[in-house]
Structure 1
Amino acid sequence: MDTQTHRGGCLCGAVRFEIAGPAKWTGYCHCHSCRKHTGAPASAFAGFERSQVTVTAGELALFASSPGVRRGFCAACGSTRSYEGDRWPTEFHVHVGAFDDPEPFAPTGHAFAEERVSWLHLTDPAPP
C-alpha cells in the first residue's frame, strides 16, 4: 500500500498540491483537447480520488474546455495541472509532469489512442 505523500506544483510555484496515497491509474492521453491544453503530442496523467488531493498553496484556475470538462492551470504562469470531468465525478486527474517526482507515475495505458498523431511513437507501457 502506498502511504507516501506526493507533492507538485506549477512552474512559478504559485500553485502547490499534495496527494496522499497511490494513483488509481496512469496513462497517456492522445485526445485533441489534451494536445491543445498542453501543447504536447500526448499527455501523461495520473488519476486519484478527489479526497486524496489537497491544494496547499494558491488556487487552480479552471477552464471549461468542453461540456462537463474543467481543465486546471496556474493563472500566474499558465502551467497546465489537471483535468476534472463529469464522466468521473469523484476523480481528479493530474498531469504527471506537475509532480516534483514524476517517477512513481509511469503510464500503464493509452486513452483516445485512435487520436494519436501518426508520427508519435511511444513504447507501449508495461502493465502494472
Structure 2
Amino acid sequence: MMTTRLETCACFCGAITAEIQGEPFWICYDHDDDCRRAIGSPLTIWVGYKTSQFQLKRGKPKAFSKTRGVSRTFCSNCGTSIGYSDEGIAGEIYLTLGFFDHPEHFPPAAHAYWQLKLPWIEFADKLPPY
C-alpha cells in the first residue's frame, strides 16, 4: 500500500502551523542577497510545493512585499520566516527549511544564485550551482 508523504510545520511560538501533502518539486540552497536580508541568515534553503499541497492548520501569517508580485510571509508573534510566493510562478509556494518540523527530510539538490554566495562560506558538496 502506497502512502502519501505528509510533512508538518510550525513557527517558533506555535501560533502558525501547516501540513503539506506529497513530494516537494524543489529543494535548493539560496544565496540571493534579497532572501539573505529577508531571512536574516547568510543563506536559506527553500522547499517548493504546489499551493494545492499546502494547508494552513492554525494562525494567519503576516505578509510583506518589497518586490512587486512577491509576497513573503512570517509569524507576526515570533518573527519566524514561513515562505514566499511569486505571481510570476502562480500555483507554487516556497517554504523556509526552518518552518518544517523535520528539516532533516529535505536535502538540497542545488545552489541558486551561486554568484551571490558570501565568499567565506564553503561547501564540500558537488551540487550544481545556478
Where does residue 47 of structure 1 map in the other structure? 48
Where does residue 124 of structure 1 map in the other structure? 125
Provide TM-score, normalisation by structure 2.
0.91
Provide TM-score, normalisation by structure 1.
0.92
**Residues 108, 125 of structure 1: 8 Å contact kept:** no
Matched residues in 2 for 1:126 and 1:115: separation?
16
| Alpha-carbon RMSD | 1.6
Structure 1 unaligned blocks of 5 or more:
none
* % identical aligned pairs: 33
Q: Which amino acid aligns with 1:7?
A: T
SS of the aligned residue for 1:56 comes to: strand
Aligned residues: 127
SS of the aligned residue for 1:97 comes to: helix
Answering whether residue 80 of structure 2 is matched by residue 79 of structure 1, we say yes
Where does residue 98 of structure 1 map in the other structure? 99
Which 4+ stretches in 1 moved above 4 angstroms?
A: none
Structure 2 unaligned blocks of 5 or more:
none
Where does residue 58 of structure 2 map in the other structure? 57
